[in-house]
Chain A
């Protein structure tokens, strides 16, 4: 029997199984969206595939009843963990009126849902970083003990808003967790052409905060790092930068062709480390994921995704004239 790592982190068998289930749900929704896109039913997909472990591992280390999440466009695993449903995500994919993110106004991947403290985002990358800092500042002023969790890609760690936001949070010792999901590519540009330093986490020292690089395919490693960052934040010790290293298993989006800039061998190699496979193996070896349980889980997720797809496909679009609503308070 393999070493039981999750017990040492204080995670029960049920909790790690639930983490895996959320990772798998994110993967299956994402895969379904690609099918729907290729079938001409939805115009656009941008994937979480390859980053589910980092997204779910981090989210489960937070207090999902009070912490704030400022996800970027790949964070399906984060938003599912924070309470968004498969149906919500499919409604967004189909751009239907009931989509809680935007009522069909934004492309998929532009998450936002106030009741779950998922803060609305845009397409210009990294603008959410100063927002996360502002929310943490507000929490500090109001003497609340939540932390603000913000994610972005390694390419985005070059944007001014990352540096300005990180510095602000460092100076004011704010409870922000900056998590870089390093998937090795910013569309076509590899990390070697994005960073002159070795790791994104090397940037933390400039802003007076600790920086850690962890295996983004290992949800338990990410959980551990984010848990400790959340504790630091809640204790008034300030922000933390965490870099999770994994790989983007799909093209950038449904409009990209990654064969033009990376070798198939490289992608195949990365697939061997896919957390959906490796974490399942861990859970099997730990005796938690039995064949019976796995079948049950797959059947359940399949049903959820089918129902969400049918519901969203048949749901109504927003009225055309409603495009004029909500420019200002009404």
Chain B
């Protein structure tokens, strides 16, 4: 198996899906000739031409809305929001339209669009190039939200998102793009949307997280083995709708649960995970469910001191894991 980076997995998935199905096309700002500001669509313009790798006007609601229209017609658009922070003008199209088209038409119409966006901090991106925006969309039935952590998951889940007959928000951690590498098979494969994945088997404590934080937890877990702490790590992969069974199973296994996100603490994905655990696992728990998250300030500041204070890292996760193990 070849070892590729997280962003190469994005590019490969797009390229292979465009080769497989001519109804798949890409649209967004700078995705064409430039190949994307992060280079996620690198090479696609040359291979598929400007009609299928469409440089759009700078207008996010149109990128989403035009994509939704094409999807309703029967195309398979993959729309790119240049940064997740810039998805806000498209929220009406995503929540009022994409999420509700199947339901409101009583199954007559559907909108199989994939909307990709780089999210997350730790890249000196300041307030508007660092945000995690998943919680905004995570109480909107009709939407699916995928947030993969590894190149293998990126490729399999992006392909599954493009083939899915409902709208999918696909959030890619921008710091993971070049930082995270991993083995990816040569042959075509997809992974199931809506299924969490155990990234590490363990017996003492359970960490449930997603995105880049999965790697922080894995690094912390390795260190903690020296102290005799054996961590079980569940990667949510799909943050909406949540894999309730997978969460209950992972929480019940150790009875001590730490939930980690780099998003703000209150009202986030992990709060819902915590609610699922409290509804289902009371008699299996040996400690209060712990949440480790970003502070409840609007977003990540620019200056390195403040950015570091906000941003999740392996040390913060390690400390929280140790505290929980010692409870």
Point out the residues of chain A lying under 8 angstroms from B105, CB to CB: 101-102, 112, 114, 120
Scan B58-99; emit 1 where CB is below 8 A from any A CB, else 0: 010110111111111111010000000000010011001100
Say yes or no: A131 contacts B62, CB within 8 Å: no
Point out the residues of chain B lying under 8 angstroms from A134, CB to CB: 65-73, 77
Nearest CB of A to B171, in Å: 19
Closest to A325 in B: B107
Nearest CB of A to B250, in Å: 24
User: How far, in angstroms, from A160 to B59 measured CA to CA in the complex?
Assistant: 9
Nearest CB of A to B254, in Å: 32
Point out the residues of chain A lying under 8 angstroms from B57, CB to CB: 164, 167-168, 171
8 Å CB interface, A137-160 against B: 137-139, 141, 148, 160
Q: Is B110 an interface residue (CB 8 A)?
A: yes
Say yes or no: A165 contacts B96, CB within 8 Å: no
User: How far, in angstroms, from A119 to B108 measured CA to CA in the complex?
Assistant: 10
8 Å CB interface, B39-64 against A: 51-52, 56-57, 59, 61-62, 64
Say yes or no: B72 contacts A327, CB within 8 Å: no
Nearest CB of A to B165, in Å: 4
**Given A106-B104, A327-B102, A327-B103, A129-B142 contact (CB < 8 Å):** no
Say yes or no: A122 contacts B104, CB within 8 Å: yes
Q: Is A27 an interface residue (CB 8 A)?
A: no
Point out the residues of chain A lying under 8 angstroms from B51, CB to CB: 141
Q: Quick one: which of A105, A160, A165 contacts B106, CB cutoff 8 A?
A: A105
**Given A120-B101, A122-B97, A328-B166, A160-B89 contact (CB < 8 Å):** yes
Scan A156-179; emit 1 where CB is below 8 A from any B CB, else 0: 000011001101100100000000
Closest to B64 in A: A130
Say yes or no: A114 contacts B108, CB within 8 Å: yes
Nearest CB of A to B326, in Å: 42
Say yes or no: B104 contacts A133, CB within 8 Å: no
Scan B207-229; emit 1 where CB is below 8 A from any A CB, else 0: 00000000000000000000000
User: How far, in angstroms, from A18 to B263 measured CA to CA in the complex?
Assistant: 60
8 Å CB interface, A301-330 against B: 325-330
Q: Quick one: which of B69, B97, B108, B164 contacts A133, CB cutoff 8 A?
A: B69
8 Å CB interface, B134-182 against A: 141-142, 144, 164-166
Nearest CB of B to A61, in Å: 22
Nearest CB of A to B72, in Å: 6
User: How far, in angstroms, from A328 to B168 measured CA to CA in the complex?
Assistant: 11
Point out the residues of chain A lying under 8 angstroms from B108, CB to CB: 100, 112-114, 120
Point out the residues of chain A lying under 8 angstroms from B59, CB to CB: 160, 164, 167-168
Say yes or no: A102 contacts B61, CB within 8 Å: no
Point out the residues of chain B lying under 8 angstroms from A135, CB to CB: 69-70, 72-73
Point out the residues of chain B lying under 8 angstroms from A127, CB to CB: 65, 92-93, 96-97
Q: Quick one: which of A100, A105, A325 contacts B104, CB cutoff 8 A?
A: A105
User: How far, in angstroms, from A167 to B67 measured CA to CA in the complex?
Assistant: 15
Q: Is A74 an interface residue (CB 8 A)?
A: no
* Contacts A138-B75, A164-B61, A168-B59 supplied; 10 other A-B pairs, CB < 8 Å: A99-B106, A119-B72, A122-B97, A122-B100, A127-B65, A131-B97, A135-B69, A164-B62, A168-B62, A329-B164
25 contacts between A and B (CB under 8 A): A100-B108, A105-B103, A105-B106, A119-B69, A120-B105, A122-B96, A127-B92, A127-B93, A131-B65, A131-B69, A134-B66, A135-B73, A138-B73, A138-B75, A141-B25, A148-B69, A161-B93, A164-B59, A165-B65, A167-B57, A167-B59, A171-B57, A326-B107, A328-B142, A329-B164
| Residues of B in contact with A (beta carbons under 8 Å apart) | 25, 51-52, 56-57, 59, 61-62, 64-75, 77, 89, 92-93, 96-97, 100-110, 141-142, 144, 164-166
| Residues of A in contact with B (beta carbons under 8 Å apart) | 68, 99-103, 105-106, 110, 112-114, 119-120, 122-124, 127, 129-139, 141, 148, 160-161, 164-165, 167-168, 171, 325-330
